[in-house]
Structure 1
Amino acid sequence: MPSTDIKPEEFDFLVKKAMELEAIDAKIIPTYNVFVEKRVVLKCRGCIGYGKKLTCPPHVPTVDEFREILKEYSYAMLVKFRSPAVADEEIAKAPYKTWLDPAEPVETREKAAKFWEEYFDYSKKMAFAMLELEKTAFNEGFTFAVAFVNGSCRLCEKCNVEKGICIHSNMARIPEHAVGINMKKTAAESGMPLEFPIKGQPEPMSILFID
């Protein structure tokens, strides 16, 4: 059962740490404001990485399993970052992998390749920041703190999924959407809305569960 004697202000040290790690915003929210929906994982099924990473479906807890896990936490922290990647309107609305489509103009492919390279590079930095926040919470006695990340794991060029053993299990974390977390709705209900489609620099968000 989650702790009932913890007050949100007890996690102010985590908000401060998030800002030190270059987050642009961070907020403690009750876990009843974290929205989990089965439809979210449908987006995973349409991803080219589906089943190819141990941190993605079907290798992670199901939506129903995660709902039960969520009941054991009282609080979460939303952490918003700002990527250095910049998307103009054309790239923001273009499908992922545009840079591989020979039917697209060369200029569009080059812009898309640059955007996604910068975005994915920054996503690794975000993941390490979330691990640091998880460790910070752990060291303050919140031993069941666990971070989720924005986007699929990029620690390895090719995941060890065939052998079923993650070679970086101490660092690899599950993407929020992989267990059904509707980050768009969660962020909006918490006063930290995410903007779609992207305009300029993306502001991806991750979540840390603490108790």
Structure 2
Amino acid sequence: MTLDETQNKKFDDLKKSALELGAIDAKIIPAGDILVEDRVTLKCRVGCVGYGKKLTCPPYVPTPDEFRKILSEYSYAMLVKFRSPAETDDDVVKSIYKYWLDPAAPKDKKDEASKFWNDYFDYSKIIHLSMLELEKRAFNEGFTFAIAFVNGSCRLCEKCNIENGICVHPNMARIPEHAVGINMKKTAEKAGMALKFPIKGNPEPMSVLLID
């Protein structure tokens, strides 16, 4: 899939916008290079404490099969990588996975894990706002079906309006990429922007902007 001169310029402007908005890297890829897998949302169902508690997460969002059909209508996507200020070393890595939600965890380990996740989630709100602005700029440049997906579940509200089934911030809430089955690890690796696991140093979360 090739770009004409006008598209190249618009994409260059969008990539510059991403960097202005705090990204450390941004890359245009064919939409077909986004890898969608059913097993990704299984992790939401069995591994996430937020499952069913947010309108932007499963089971309230398109399934992987539904999303594959949506994705097929797009030509391009932008992968947008950020660098979180949350810091890790070998001990912190063990703490964030082992002790964060364990009520019997030693206080120092729980505090260590809590600090990491608080820093990470605070920055995820900044990423969310940056992706919304990037989506708006893409729209204003003629990509009227541009839509952003965010890294991690929505944190616009302390508690989602799940009981009433209506989002109170529909203009701002966006779906996490993994919630529709996007395998970000494989997608990023294929694009030459590999994500590092387990986390070392500062995490580098990545978001997606679909463009058309």
The one-letter amino acid paired with 2:106 is P
Please show how residues 18-167 of structure 1 align to structure 2 within 5 Å: 18-45=18-45, 46-94=47-95, 96=97, 98-167=99-168
- Deviation, structure 1 residue 141: 1.2
Query: Which residue of the partner structure matches residue 13 of structure 1?
Result: 13
More deviation, 62-71/98-107: 98-107
SS in structure 1 of the partner of residue 110 of structure 2: helix
The one-letter amino acid paired with 1:107 is D
**Kept after mapping to 1: 8 A contact 2:64/2:180:** yes
Q: Which runs of 5 or more residues in structure 2 are unaligned?
A: none
Closer, same or farther in 2 for the Cα pair 1:82/1:76, shift >3 Å? Answer: same
**Kept after mapping to 1: 8 A contact 2:36/2:64:** yes
Percentage of pairs with the same residue:
71
More deviation, 179-188/81-90: 81-90
- Deviation, structure 1 residue 90: 2.5
The one-letter amino acid paired with 2:117 is W
Closer, same or farther in 2 for the Cα pair 1:207/1:70, shift >3 Å? Answer: same
**Kept after mapping to 2: 8 A contact 1:36/1:181:** yes
**Kept after mapping to 1: 8 A contact 2:10/2:141:** no
Query: Which residue of the partner structure matches residue 175 of structure 1?
Result: 176
Distance (whole Å) between structure 2 residues aligned to residue 93 and residue 112 of structure 1: 9
The one-letter amino acid paired with 1:30 is P
- Deviation, structure 1 residue 96: 4.5
The one-letter amino acid paired with 1:180 is G
Distance (whole Å) between structure 1 residues aligned to residue 210 and residue 8 of structure 2: 13
SS in structure 1 of the partner of residue 39 of structure 2: helix
Q: Which runs of 5 or more residues in structure 1 are unaligned?
A: none
SS in structure 2 of the partner of residue 99 of structure 1: coil
- Deviation, structure 1 residue 101: 2.2
Closer, same or farther in 2 for the Cα pair 1:137/1:91, shift >3 Å? Answer: same
- Deviation, structure 1 residue 105: 1.8
Distance (whole Å) between structure 1 residues aligned to residue 207 and residue 98 of structure 2: 23
**Kept after mapping to 1: 8 A contact 2:96/2:117:** no
Q: Root-mean-square deviation (CA), in Å?
A: 1.9
Query: Which residue of the partner structure matches residue 191 of structure 2?
Result: 190
Distance (whole Å) between structure 2 residues aligned to residue 18 and residue 112 of structure 1: 30
Distance (whole Å) between structure 2 residues aligned to residue 208 and residue 36 of structure 1: 15
Q: Write out per-residue CA displacement over residues 164-211 of structure 1, whole angstroms, 9 at most, x where no aligned residue.
A: 000001000000000000000000000000000000110000000001
| TM-score (norm. length: structure 2) | 0.94
SS in structure 2 of the partner of residue 137 of structure 1: helix
The one-letter amino acid paired with 2:127 is M
Distance (whole Å) between structure 1 residues aligned to residue 56 and residue 98 of structure 2: 21
Distance (whole Å) between structure 2 residues aligned to residue 104 and residue 90 of structure 1: 14
| TM-score (norm. length: structure 1) | 0.94
Distance (whole Å) between structure 2 residues aligned to residue 47 and residue 102 of structure 1: 17
Distance (whole Å) between structure 2 residues aligned to residue 181 and residue 69 of structure 1: 12
The one-letter amino acid paired with 1:36 is V
